Amino acid sequence: MLKINNLHASIEGKEILKGISLEVKPGEVHAIMGPNGSGKSTLASVLAGRDLFDVTEGTVEFLDQDLLDMAPEDRARSGLFLGFQYPVEIPGVSMVNFMKTAVNEHRKHNNLDPLSASDFLKLMREKKEVVDITSNLTNRSVNEGFSGGEKKRNEIFQMAMLDPKMAILDETDSGLDIDALKIVAHGVNKLRTKENATIIITHYQRLLEYIVPDFVHILYKGKIVKSSGKELALELEEKGYDWIKEQ
């Protein structure tokens, strides 16, 4: 589904990603861990198409397409979803209006008619349950006035609405208390199928107690220095990142 091959990326001439290769197949959950500044969020941004970064080398294939050649919105419509570490606020734009626009752009991409208002609201009600959002989103602007936990839940809610093939969750656990973390993890697990895949980017092992990954990769100084099964996360938790740095 996703094939990253020797990916290099830099910002303002400074190389952040120094040759990353990774393959993700349908149904798999990969965790990418690493200390601060190792390039985890950069990797997520580059995959989503943020043009702050220059890709200097390497290829990325997504569903047999050249991902790097696609505009960010086309990557999204093709089924790539990024759960943001810091979801941005868009004042005055209601969640309903925002999500309706997004969902219908996805449907247009798939040659489907736009959802009617009532079908859309029905879908929204259904998906709100996934992440236990009880508040009335119709009256709220995108992320405006949302608490930290609500913002993260809102990301998973949007993921549920858009039903992506590949979700990249960037530090979704940061700033969450344990209850919120469980709700978010529960949501992700519920959305997991044999056809879709997930990349979880995290600093801590904590989230992986609730979302069990098939593979764990350790990113350090722009490279994947270690890949293994879920037990790697535990080892890392025990020994700390210094253990990686020493190697």
Partner 1 sequence: MSAEEDKILTEVTENEYKYGFVTDIETETIPKGLNEDVIRLISKKKNEPDWLLENRLKAYRHWQTMKMPEWAYLDLPEIDFQDIIYYAAPRKQPKYQSLDEVDPELLDTFNKLGIPLEEQKHLAGVAVDAVMDSVSVKTTFRETLAEMGIIFCSFSEAVQEHPDLVKKYMGSVVPYTDNFYAALNSAVFSDGSFCYIPKGVRCPMELSTYFRINAANTGQFERTLIVADDDSYVSYLEGCTAPQRDENQLHAAIVEIVAHENAEVKYSTVQNWYPGDKNGKGGIYNFVTKRGICKGDNSKISWTQVETGSAITWKYPSCILKGDNTTGEFYSVAVTNNHQQADTGTKMIHIGKNSKSTIISKGISAGLSQNSYRGLVKVLKNASGVRNFTQCDSLLLGDTCGAHTFPYLEIDNETAIIEHEATTSKIGEDQIFYCNQRGIDTENAIGLIINGYAKEVLNKLPMEFAVEAQKLLQISLEGSVG
Residues that bind partner 1 (CB under 8 A): 48-52, 71-73, 75-77, 81-82, 84, 87-88, 90-94, 97-99, 101-102, 105-106, 109, 141-142, 158, 162
Containing 2, the helix (H) or strand (E) segment is: strand 2-11
CB of 133 to partner 1, least distance (A): 17
Between residues 90 and 225, which has the closer beta carbon with respect to partner 1? 90
**Three-state SS for 13?**
coil
Please calculate the CA angle 100-168-211 and round it to the nearest 5 degrees: 110
Compute the residue count for the chain. Answer: 247
Beta bridge partners of 224: 219
Between residues 50 and 221, which has the closer beta carbon with respect to partner 1? 50
CB of 114 to partner 1, least distance (A): 13
CB of 94 to partner 1, least distance (A): 8
Between residues 93 and 225, which has the closer beta carbon with respect to partner 1? 93
Which ranges of the chain does DSSP label H, i.e. alpha helix?
A: 40-48, 72-77, 95-109, 117-130, 148-162, 178-191, 231-239, 242-246
Between residues 72 and 175, which has the closer beta carbon with respect to partner 1? 72
CB of 50 to partner 1, least distance (A): 6
